[in-house]
């Protein structure tokens, strides 16, 4: 989803750069809005990556605990959760 929005934002910025007959004040306003939107997208992307890393770390810890018999979930269940729910390789 983020990649799609980023792609659309890039296309709009290119179109805005190529618009020679646009009012300069309107272009500045649009570029400011685009810059704000890009900053928001960047923050969302960073937060998404942090969350994914945290989930993967937690699943890795649970899997390690299961391998040492310290977890109520068995290894096969955890591997299936990783693969089917989170799309992570085992």
- Tens-digit pLDDT string for the chain (90 aa): 777 877 888 888 787 777 777 788 887 887 888 888 888 888 988 998 999 899 889 888 888 888 888 878 788 888 888 888 888 775
| 56 within some domain | yes
Per-residue pLDDT, 47: 94
| 16 within some domain | yes
pTM: 0.62
Domain that holds residue 63: 2-85
Q: What are phi and psi of 43, to 5 degrees?
A: -60, -40
| 26 within some domain | yes
- A 10 A CB-CB count for 78 gives 20
| 90 within some domain | no
Per-residue pLDDT, 90: 56
Domains: count for the chain = 1
| 32 within some domain | yes
d(CA 9, CA 30): 11
d(CA 45, CA 1): 10
d(CA 88, CA 12): 34
| 50 within some domain | yes
Q: List alpha helices for 1-90, DSSP H.
A: 2-18, 24-67, 75-80
């Amino acid at each position: 989803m983020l990649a799609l929005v980023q792609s659309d934002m890039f296309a709009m910025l290119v179109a805005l750069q190529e618009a020679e007959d646009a009012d300069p004040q309107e272009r500045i306003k649009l570029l400011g809005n685009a810059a704000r939107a890009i900053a928001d997208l960047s923050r969302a992307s960073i937060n998404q990556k942090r969350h994914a890393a945290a989930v993967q770390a937690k699943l890795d810890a649970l899997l390690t605990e299961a391998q040492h018999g310290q977890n109520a979930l068995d290894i096969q269940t955890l591997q299936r959760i990783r693969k089917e729910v989170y799309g992570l390789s085992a």
